[in-house]
Structures are given as structure tokens and as C-alpha cells.
């Protein structure tokens, strides 16, 4: 219960709101690939990150084979660099997947009417900005109930913690 009370009192900073707006924009920006499959920009980023991880060499930390006699330990530095790059890529991949999962669950929680309004507010042809969406989601009590606003604050807090 204390966690919920903490979330209710939390003030959302401008940077947190901007970060959430960017994720929301990526969620609603749709592309079509060569096979005709539709996907969001966020899904595209997740797939690119996964491909990047798959291309990276998986070198274990105990592999000292590249460290020859008299090399001054330079071989181990190369192994460490590969491990650091791979772990950063994995961390970013997990973060993006987690954000997509939270956005999916958040949008499911919205009523059908609210979801249509939200989607309408992010429409390339109508030139609504992402800030308009954020205003609808976070401020308008007509469309978003109090518990949904609390959920939004929780989402912003979680994404901020993962950076």
C-alpha cells in the first residue's frame, strides 16, 4: 500500500513527461515492411536491438585464449569490451520490451472510447502533436479516470528508473 501512496504523491517532471511522450509517439507510429506486415516504431526498435545482440560475439569472461605470454593482458581487455557492449545492448532490449509491455497494458486499461480518442489525437494527417496526447492522457478528467492517471505516473516512474 505504501508504494501506491508514494505514486499518488509523485510529481511528474518535465523530462519524465517528455520521455513518456516519445515512447507513446513510437508506439503509435506505424510502418509497413516489404511483406505487408504492420508494426510500430517501438516494435521495430525492439527487433533491431534483438538482431544487434544476435550479431554480437558471445565471449565468456573466462576465455583467456587471446591473452598470450608477454601481451600485457591486452587480450582480456578485448574480451571485457565485448561483454560490456553485449550487456548494454541486452539491457536496452529488455528496457524497450518492458516499456512496450507496460504501454500495451496501459492502453488495454483505457476504455474503448478513451483509446479511440487517444489514437485520434496521434494522427499524422491531423498533425496533432504528442504533447496533445499527453495532455489528454494525463490531465483530462473527462476521458481519463484518476486511477488511470496514477497508472500513468507509475509508468513514467518505472521508465525513468530503467534508464
pLDDT in tens, 43-100: 888 888 888 888 877 665 444 444 444 445 454 555 566 777 888 888 888 888 877 7
Sign of the CA dihedral with 104 first, then 110, 111, and 116 last:
negative
Q: Is residue 84 assigned to a domain?
A: yes
Show the domain range for 43: 7-29+38-162
Q: Is residue 114 assigned to a domain?
A: yes
Please state the domain count of the chain.
Answer: 1
Q: Is residue 19 assigned to a domain?
A: yes
Asked whether the whole model's pTM tops 0.85, one would answer no
Q: What is the pLDDT of residue 120?
A: 55
Q: Is residue 1 assigned to a domain?
A: no
Q: Is residue 16 assigned to a domain?
A: yes
2 vs 126, residue with greater confidence: 126
Q: What is the four-CA torsion angle of 149, 44, 95, 151, rounded to 10 degrees?
A: 10
Q: What is the pLDDT of residue 1?
A: 40
Q: Is residue 125 assigned to a domain?
A: yes
Q: Is residue 2 assigned to a domain?
A: no
- Candidate from 2-6, 23-27, 30-34, 107-111 with smallest mean pLDDT: 2-6
Q: Is residue 69 assigned to a domain?
A: yes
- Which grid coordinates belong to 145? 479516470
Amino acid at each position: 500500500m505504501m508504494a501506491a501512496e508514494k505514486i499518488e504523491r509523485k510529481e511528474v517532471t518535465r523530462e519524465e513527461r517528455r520521455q513518456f511522450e516519445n515512447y507513446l509517439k513510437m508506439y503509435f507510429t506505424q510502418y509497413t515492411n516489404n511483406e505487408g506486415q504492420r508494426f510500430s516504431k517501438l516494435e521495430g526498435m525492439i527487433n533491431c536491438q534483438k538482431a544487434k545482440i544476435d550479431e554480437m560475439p558471445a565471449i565468456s569472461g573466462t576465455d583467456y585464449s587471446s591473452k598470450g605470454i608477454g601481451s600485457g593482458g591486452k587480450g582480456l581487455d578485448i574480451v571485457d569490451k565485448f561483454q560490456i557492449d553485449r550487456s548494454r545492448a541486452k539491457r536496452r532490449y529488455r528496457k524497450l520490451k518492458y516499456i512496450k509491455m507496460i504501454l500495451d497494458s496501459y492502453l488495454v486499461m483505457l476504455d474503448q472510447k478513451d483509446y479511440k480518442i487517444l489514437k485520434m489525437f496521434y494522427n499524422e494527417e491531423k498533425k496533432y502533436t504528442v504533447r496533445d496526447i499527453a495532455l489528454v492522457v494525463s490531465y483530462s478528467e473527462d476521458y481519463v479516470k484518476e486511477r488511470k492517471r496514477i497508472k500513468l505516473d507509475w509508468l513514467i516512474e518505472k521508465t525513468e528508473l530503467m534508464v
